[in-house]
């Protein structure tokens, strides 16, 4: 998605450890118009897949996920990283190692919101080594729900997550694919 690539080039900051900071439009401040365009794009890509539910993980996945849910007219479920006091029902859970925070979180969703008849679209902000998405796939497996695919806003294609998912036969759609960081500059696949 050209618009997204331009925005990353303009506003993205490359941090040590191959981390891209996009705090001005995705990870802290959110640009609703850009998120809307992103949601429309994911909705277009998965329009023939009879998606019944979007699944993401808090917090940065929520913005693109909600715009996709709005465009597809389906509910958006986000896995929680901390157990809320109101979540006293049965849960599906998975362990996820965080690439940026270097900690393992247990993510969970209430069993009542993910069911066997669901056709799920998983959405997340970044794909690095695939841990977050693997945790969400695990949760769908526990629910016996079908995963139609995964939509990622920014894939760091030089890391292992893309291969991990494609090797499992998962349909992966990434709107921006970064091939490398070079002296603080972002290069995209196909540049
Ligand atoms: P993975 O689980 O694929 O290794 O990493 C994906 C998760 O880590 C995303 O949900 C995102 O929150 C975070 N993440 C990974 N790489 C980056 C990055 O370069 N920048 C930012 N802002 N978050 C990242």
Domain boundaries, the chain: 2-188
Q: Record the pTM.
A: 0.97
Q: Note the pLDDT tens digit of each residue in 115-170.
A: 999 999 999 999 999 999 999 999 999 999 999 999 999 999 999 999 999 999 99
Q: Which is the closest atom of ligand 1 to the Cα of 19?
A: 19
**CA-to-CA separations, 151 to 31, 42, 123, 171, in angstroms, rounded:** 18, 7, 5, 9
Q: Give residue 101's pLDDT band: very low, low, confident or very high (50, 70, 90).
A: confident
Range from 3-17, 73-87, 95-109 that averages highest in pLDDT: 3-17
| Structure-block tokens of residue 52 | 């019944």
Lowest mean pLDDT among 76-85, 117-126, 176-185: 76-85
Q: Which atom of ligand 1 is the closest one to the Cα of 18?
A: 19
Pick the CATH number of 2-188 from 3.30.450.20, 3.40.1080.10, 3.40.50.720, 3.40.50.2020: 3.40.50.2020
Which atom of ligand 1 lies nearest, measured to the CA of 126? 9
Q: Judge whether 63 is annotated as a binding position.
A: no
For ligand 1, atom 10: residue with the closest CA: 126
**Residue 93 CA, ligand 1 centroid: distance in Å:** 19
156 labeled part of a ligand binding site:
yes
């Amino acid at each position: 998605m050209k618009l997204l690539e331009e925005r990353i080039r303009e506003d993205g900051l490359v941090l040590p450890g191959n981390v891209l900071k996009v705090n001005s439009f995705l990870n802290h401040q959110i640009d609703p118009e850009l998120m809307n365009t992103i949601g429309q794009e994911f909705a277009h890509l998965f329009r023939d897949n009879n998606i019944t539910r979007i699944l993401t993980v808090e917090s940065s996945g929520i913005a693109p996920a909600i715009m996709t849910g709005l465009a597809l007219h389906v509910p958006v479920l986000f896995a929680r990283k901390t157990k809320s006091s109101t979540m006293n029902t049965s849960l599906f859970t998975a362990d996820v190692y965080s690439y940026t925070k270097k900690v393992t979180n247990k993510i969970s969703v209430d069993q009542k919101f993910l069911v066997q008849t669901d056709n799920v679209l998983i959405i997340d902000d970044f794909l690095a080594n695939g841990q977050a998405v693997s945790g969400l796939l695990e949760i769908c497996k526990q629910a016996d729900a079908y995963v139609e695919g995964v939509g990622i806003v920014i894939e760091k294609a030089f890391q292992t997550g893309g291969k991990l998912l494609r090797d499992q036969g998962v349909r992966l759609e990434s709107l921006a694919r970064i091939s490398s960081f070079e002296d603080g500059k972002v290069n995209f696949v196909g540049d």
